Amino acid sequence: MCNVPKRNWRSAFQPKRLIAFVAALAAIGAGWQIPNAFGLIPMCLGAVVLLMAILLPAVHDVEFGFPSGVKLSATLQDRAEELRAVFEGQRRDLELCANLICDEPATAAILLEAAWAKTSADWRGPVTPGIRVYTLCVFVNRFMSHTQWVHPQQRTEPQSQEAVPALSPLATLSPNERVVVVLHEFAELSLAEIATLTGSALADVIHLLQHAEASLARSRASGSL
């Protein structure tokens, strides 16, 4: 359900990097032709260009899979910091959705942090707006698992109106309905995106949303009496 973008190898082959690559090979080739120690100078320069202008930027942008013994900590740390900065920029939006889906703020915070930890570990390629949708997807999966295993009585059915404190009409919905409403109304995802995110048929998502809207309308009507 939650799909990370595949490694985009094309993004590593930008024109300026190709030019730098050719220049680096030319420098190494020229140094190889010099039959004395001076030949090491252009060879070393070429190697530095290959590393600094091509290899490390590619690791940052595409995060190619290097063996575990190869450590490029500085570049990967820069990437991790960029991901964290994106998360901080989206935090309020994600926290709003998390707290609307989950009634318990502490649980919502834990699930959201866990979702982000998985996102930062799984994400490949450049940081794009799709990272927000992926984080929401992981959060929803964590929330549904939490609902199933920690509160199994709330797994599929909404709570009765009498059993729910009159704090939020969303609390009267089933978990599936609640997820659909929040993702559609607050995260502003399309029904097709929600269907993909939740692994559901589009018709099922439409039915959940319609049923939830009817339930919320009844809740508002009864509250106004």
pLDDT number for residue 68: 39
Q: What is the C-alpha separation between 82 and 127, in angstroms, rounded?
A: 8
pLDDT number for residue 209: 96
pLDDT number for residue 14: 59
Q: What is the C-alpha separation between 62 and 79, in angstroms, rounded?
A: 10
pTM: 0.65
Encode pLDDT of 168-183 as tens digits: 788 889 999 999 999 9
pLDDT number for residue 38: 66
3-state secondary structure the chain: CCCCCCCCHHHHCCHHHHHHHHHHHHHHHHHHHCCCHHHHHHHHHHHHHHHHHHHHHHHHHHCCCCCCCCCCHHHHHHHHHHHHHHHHHHHHHHHHHHHHHCCCHHHHHHHHHHHHHHHHHHCCCCCCCHHHHHHHHHHHHHHHHHHHHHCHHHCCCCCCHHHCCCCCHHHHCCHHHHHHHHHHHCCCCCHHHHHHHHCCCHHHHHHHHHHHHHHHHHHHHHHHC
Q: Which segments of the chain have a pLDDT < 50?
A: 9, 60, 62-72, 74, 154-166, 224-225
pLDDT number for residue 11: 52
pLDDT number for residue 48: 67
